[in-house]
Amino acid sequence: MKYAFISDIHANLEALEACFKVIDAEGVDSIACLGDIVGYGASPNECVELVRERASQVVIGNHDAAVVGTTETEYFNLDARSAVLWTRNALTPENVAFLRNLPYTVAVNDLRLVHASPSAPSDWIYLFNARDAAPEFAAFEERICFFGHTHFPGFFLEWQGKITQQPPPRATLRAGERAIINVGSVGQPRDGDPRAGFAIYDDSTGIAEIRRVFYDIERVQSRILDTPLPKSAAERLIWGM
Ligand code: ZN
């Protein structure tokens, strides 16, 4: 079975549509969304509606939870917080209800899906390196955990008790090997590559891949600049930071 994983869309419609175009050409069997559909960008309703229509599984992200009021925004920086307030006003009641009812984590076959970490899905901790990821392997029973949150795509692999970190774009899992995979960010990459990112995993080959897709960044920027959203949310897109 072939899966696509999208995460951290952050209300960037053009990036999301560009990813779906590639996903459709791949002929995947199932699409899952790992949260942060909204926050920062100018198209929150369009993005929520597209995800509702296309994704078989969706988990909640910290920005989604902040917008619907189920998590604190104290640890958000000023720009993130003002985007939360703008998004809260912009969303339709149906889309608010959809976000509010999302689970923190869900299992699909032998895969665990979560926004931030399997050990404490509602605490929004960040897994950046092998040291952060190592204790997380005991927190889920499935073979692979897919997550987002940091906006840095990559692979943490557990083989014969040893944890290693492997950079994108590809990891081929051996029989018995487990993994925690960051699928990157559709709408606000922060690894210096401005292209939209997502992951594809094929359980018949054990190959997991991070894909990057060009999209019309200028159009997204001008849409953000037409709103009272923080200018930084538009500016950073061109740098992928
Ligand atoms: Zn995010």
- For residue 94, the CA-to-ligand 1 centroid distance in Å is 22
The number of residues making up the chain comes to 241
Q: What is the pLDDT of residues 102-153, one digit of tens each?
A: 999 999 999 999 999 999 999 999 999 999 999 999 999 999 999 999 999 9
Nearest CA to 6 among 37, 45, 32? 32
Enumerate residues with CB within 5 Å of ligand 1 (an ion): 8, 36
- For residue 204, the CA-to-ligand 1 centroid distance in Å is 30
- For residue 190, the CA-to-ligand 1 centroid distance in Å is 10
Average pLDDT over residues 69-98: 92
Distance CA(3)–CA(29), nearest Å, equals 6
Q: What pLDDT sits at residue 71? A: 85
- For residue 48, the CA-to-ligand 1 centroid distance in Å is 14
Q: What is the pLDDT of residues 5-53, one digit of tens each?
A: 999 999 999 999 999 999 999 999 999 999 999 999 999 999 999 999 9
pTM over 0.85: yes
Residue type, 63: H
Average pLDDT over residues 177-199: 98
CATH superfamily of 2-238: Metallo-dependent phosphatases (3.60.21.10)
With a cut of 90, say whether residue 70 has pLDDT above it: no
- For residue 37, the CA-to-ligand 1 centroid distance in Å is 8
- Give the chain as a 3 state SS string: CEEEEECCCCCCHHHHHHHHHHHHHHCCCEEEECCCCCCCCCCHHHHHHHHHHHCCEECCCHHHHHHCCCCCCCCCCHHHHHHHHHHHHHCCHHHHHHHHCCCCEEEECCEEEECCCCCCCCCCCCCCCHHHHHHHHHHCCCCEEEECCCCCCEEEEEECCEEEEECCCEEECCCCCEEEEECCCCCCCCCCCCCEEEEEEECCCCEEEEEEECCCHHHHHHHHHCCCCCHHHHHHHHCCC
